[in-house]
Amino acid sequence: MAYEKTWAKSEKISKEEKQKLVKDGLEILNDIDKYAKEGFDAIPKEEWGLFKWAGLYLQKPKEDGYFMMRVNIPSGIITNEQAEVLAGIGRDYGRDVIDITTRQAIQYHWLTIEQMPDIFKRLESVGLSSVGACGDIPRTIVGNPLAGIDPNELFDTREIVEDVYRFFQLNEDFSNLPRKYKMSISANVHNAGNDLINCLAFTPAVKEIDGEEVVGFHVKVGGGLSAKPYLAEELDVFVRPEQVKDVAIAITSIYRDFGYREKRHRARLKFLIADWGVEKFKDKLVEYYGELPAKGTCQVKDWNAGYFYGAYPQKQEGLSYVGFNVPVGRMSSDEWFDLARIAREYGNGEIRTCNSQNLIVPNVPNEKVDALLEEKLFERIHVNPNGFIGYSVSCTGIEYCNLAIVETKERMRRVAEYLDTKLSLDVPVRFHMVGCPNSCGQRQIADIGLQGVKMKTPDKGMVEAFEIYVGGTLEKDVAQFNEKLKGKVDADELNVVLEQLLYFFKEKKRPKENFYQFSQRVGIDAIQESLDQILTAHA
């Protein structure tokens, strides 16, 4: 369908919007073969940003010409053939580094423009794509990594997710959105899709219609993190499974046509929802799509934060899925090749990625589970990880990212492993570390969020440091972002400061009380007082 760029004549739109009117982001795909032959120096600097539409960001420093690439993995479901191709790209081009992201995608580093034609060819040969993994365009769709095998899902969402994803892929009607646009589609009753932090989320629901109980979705809009986070708000509509694609098209069209384009920092859907309210937005949805029934009954019970450690029975009798911890989401290409082999030998070849940066091997006959767990790979990628490394998430950090101002990925691993040597708890504590306010590591939803900053010290000058945020959750009915504590922690002292803060938690908590419950009971002031005492002792 053709659409009118009503903002095209406005003089107030941002410089990025003006550039997109000259050259649509998807058009960069037509130039990649040319630039691959001519080399990085042939790429005009003003076009560097357009590579985001191809799923590519320039690493730090940009002038060196190395790219980070994200590959879309809708719902985190990877076939064995795809896993082999992903492993090969990491081995041949990515210096053996393969990361799992908080949106279930696969991420590479150290790629060059000369390598892109072959990488794209390999991805295309197995039905994968990096297009839209970045840029002002619908991103990869987060979903239930157990879709189709999950005893805790209302219904199988695999075909729905695939249908929606394929519609938006390479679709020029939706390649010029005001900013990035993130979707979640899940029928898992434990909110595996993190619905409240997505621009658009479909969550499991039932409704009685004409005397029959119908399964379908409720719809949430306007979630998002970054420097000004918002929790998504629910529309008063019920959507049948077969309506999801058209409803997603309508909502995305509203955002495209009415989203803000003057100030880039206010261009996300969350700001439109905050200004309009859900009633006005619903009226516009009816205008774009048509009438929809009112809400039914939500089927979300609680929030599992994307963690599936252990072996559990599937819907399919005699089969199990096995969930593993990948420390801060990072693996080598050799490990990926080994994982693909294991998935073939013990399962049906599939691998599933989680938004907790972890993975699942599904479809394992029950009698093979014990043998699978004996594989050497699972000495590091563990089915029953220690309490802190098992619940630690990190963004890429300054190692590769132009926006980050501190190291994160390896630091989070080192911090978690240190804490695991010092204390144990009767509940997990979820750590999320980020290197900048953009929050790719989803700092706001953590029990303890760590955000990188710079800090001036009297003896060492400017150093890497962290601000601490506490008490985040997406738990049903009590969802909230974590709150900032006063004070900055020198990165060199982070281990010990967190250790002592966690001792305070351990001493004051009730049995089986999780960190969110604890923070609500004792209050932010008590946690702040504890941190103040710790920082004073280290001054």
3-class secondary structure for 37-57? HHCHHHCCHHHHHHHHHHCEE
The number of C-alpha atoms within 13 Å of 241 and in the hemisphere containing its C-beta is: 16
Distance CA(496)–CA(108), nearest Å, equals 32
Per the annotation, the verdict on 70 as an active-site residue is yes
Catalytic residue among 70, 182, 256, 266: 70
Which residues are CB-neighbours of 19 under 8 A, at least 6 positions away?
46, 49
Chain-centre distance for alpha carbon 156: 21
Catalytic residue among 440, 443, 449, 488: 440
Catalytic residue among 139, 180, 182, 261: 180
Per the annotation, the verdict on 95 as an active-site residue is no
Query: Which backbone phi and psi does 529 adopt, to 5 degrees?
Result: -60, -40
Query: Which backbone phi and psi does 52 adopt, to 5 degrees?
Result: -60, -35
Distance CA(219)–CA(292), nearest Å, equals 11
Structure tokens at 338: 């080994």
Per the annotation, the verdict on 179 as an active-site residue is yes
Distance CA(40)–CA(54), nearest Å, equals 16
Which residues are CB-neighbours of 177 under 8 A, at least 6 positions away?
136, 137, 138, 252, 255, 256, 259
In the sheet that holds 319-324, the strands lie side by side as: 77-78, 351-353, 359-365, 319-324, 310-313
Catalytic residue among 224, 441, 452, 471: 441
Catalytic residue among 179, 207, 256, 261: 179
Per the annotation, the verdict on 441 as an active-site residue is yes
Query: Are 285 and 251 contacting, i.e. CB atoms less than 8 angstroms apart?
Result: yes
Distance CA(535)–CA(158), nearest Å, equals 49
C-alpha closest to that of 475 among 433, 520, 510: 520
Per the annotation, the verdict on 430 as an active-site residue is no
C-alpha closest to that of 1 among 124, 171, 206: 171
Distance CA(93)–CA(97), nearest Å, equals 9
Catalytic residue among 435, 449, 452, 471: 435
User: Which residues does the annotation mark as catalytic?
Assistant: 70, 179-180, 435, 440-441
